[in-house]
Chains A and B, each alone.
Chain A
Amino acid sequence: GTRIIYDRKMLLQLRDSPYSR
């Protein structure tokens, strides 16, 4: 099946702005 992939930049963005989704 499809795997959920995140690169480092995406993960860091989610740390810095957890509510900007």
Chain B
Amino acid sequence: DKIAVPDVPEGEHRLQYSYSLWFMQRGRGSVSSATSDYEDQIKHVGAFSSVEQFWSYYCHIAHPSDLPPHCDIHVFKMGIKPMWEDTANKDGGKWIVRLRKEISSRSWENLLLAMLGEQFIVGNEICGAVISVRPTEDIVSIWNRTASNDSIVGKIRDTLQRILQLPSQTIMEYKAHDQSLKDKSSF
């Protein structure tokens, strides 16, 4: 199940990294933390290497405000599965931002553009970004490789605050994936 890295045709604008797009709809009522179940539920939608390829996907996928609750959209660098157990993620963590429904689609777009455009300036630390559509709020998160690196984690927070232009009362929370594994909860 190797996913091919898309070529960048002449005239298109190459991104620093190639990315994969994943979609997940959590089974209603069935609460399971088993890795295999998670892998079964998450579907690879496509991959892109250029700005133009990104927009062609983005303009065709449903936006968060159009999705039913319990859907997740993941955009991860190619080669990194959007799972805690992946080698790129196992020592990592994520910033979690809870958003009102009215602003979540725009915030998600801003987060994606900042990630694809390399606005975080933390080398290869960023793994990917997720939006989780929930009944009363949406949650965006950005994953990085090294949860123990305070300066990287702080820098990601500062960039996130700037690009999302969040109201000052917005709660941001950092969670290491090994903690998520221990307490079996993501948020």
- Where the two chains meet, the residues of A that have a C-beta atom closer than 8 Å to any C-beta of B are 3-8, 10-12, 14-15, 18, 21
Contacts and interface: CB of A to CB of B under 8 A. Distances in A.
Given A6-B118, A11-B117, A14-B52, 18 more contacts: A3-B16, A4-B14, A4-B15, A4-B16, A5-B16, A6-B13, A6-B15, A6-B117, A7-B117, A7-B119, A8-B113, A8-B117, A8-B119, A11-B51, A14-B13, A14-B55, A15-B59, A21-B11
Interface of B: 11, 13-16, 51-52, 55, 58-59, 110, 113-114, 116-119, 163
Contact of A5 (B58, B119, B163): B119
B117 A10 contact: yes
Nearest to B15: A4
Contacts, number: 43
A14 B59 CA distance: 13
Given A3-B16, A7-B119, A18 B52 contact: yes
A21 B9 CA distance: 13
14 contacts: A4-B14, A4-B15, A5-B117, A5-B118, A6-B113, A6-B118, A8-B113, A8-B119, A11-B113, A11-B116, A14-B51, A15-B51, A18-B55, A21-B11
Nearest to B51: A14
Contacts of B118: 3-6
